[in-house]
Amino acid sequence: MNREQLNKYKKNKRDIENLDGIIAKLQERLDAVPVVSGKVTKSSDDFPYIEEHVQVRVEEPKAATALKMRIYEKEKRKDQLIRENEKVEKYIAAMPDGTTKDIFEMVFLDGMTQKEVGESVGYTQSMVSKVIKDILKHS
């Protein structure tokens, strides 16, 4: 685990929320795609199997396909961000209980500044920074 991965946690959370909103809007647009009539060919149900033409109603194909592709891409990106955040959460959860784990949780998961964390645990900001640096150096 490196600092870059840990620092991306907060940004990833914001991006996940934004993607949820985008996906919801795309889904609304997909639901509003007009339904059109079309014809398909099928075989009759009884022997002799004669070709028949049947009228069907479907979403407008081009618009629906484009929206479905965008939704798929957004969901794929969201899943990737979720996996990245789960790695960070597992890394911090695997740390032994104590001040170091508390520091990592407050800085990287809760979004507190190093100064705020220092005040909370009775350290200076530079000591919090040193603890983080030392742990990342050895992992």
Band (54; pLDDT cuts 50, 70, 90): confident
Name every residue whose Cβ is closer than 8 Å to that of residue 28 and which is 6 or more positions away in sequence: none
**Tokens 């007009």 correspond to what residue?**
34
Quote the pTM value. 0.77
Confidence of residue 50 (pLDDT cuts 50, 70, 90): confident
pLDDT of residue 52: 87
Confidence of residue 79 (pLDDT cuts 50, 70, 90): very high
Confidence check: pLDDT of 33 > 80: yes
- Of the pLDDT bands very low, low, confident and very high (cuts 50, 70, 90), residue 138 is confident
Average pLDDT, integer, range 85-105: 95
Tell me how far apart the alpha carbons of residues 98 and 139 are, in angstroms, rounded to a whole number. 17
How many angstroms separate the Cα of 16 from the Cα of each of 72, 97, 106?
14, 29, 20
Backbone angles phi, psi at 45, to 5 degrees: -75, -25
- With tokens 């398909």, the residue in question is 40
Query: How far does the chain reach from its first CA to its final CA, in angstroms?
Result: 7
Query: Is 80 exceeded by the pLDDT of residue 139?
Result: no
Partners of residue 35 on adjacent β-strands: 59
Give the Cα separation of 22 and 30 in Å (integer). Answer: 12
Q: What average pLDDT is seen over the chain? A: 92
- Report in angstroms the alpha-carbon separations of 137 from 24, 77, 81, 126: 41, 30, 24, 16
80: helix, coil or strand?
helix
Instruction: List CB contacts of 22: < 8 A, sequence separation 6 or more.
Output: 74
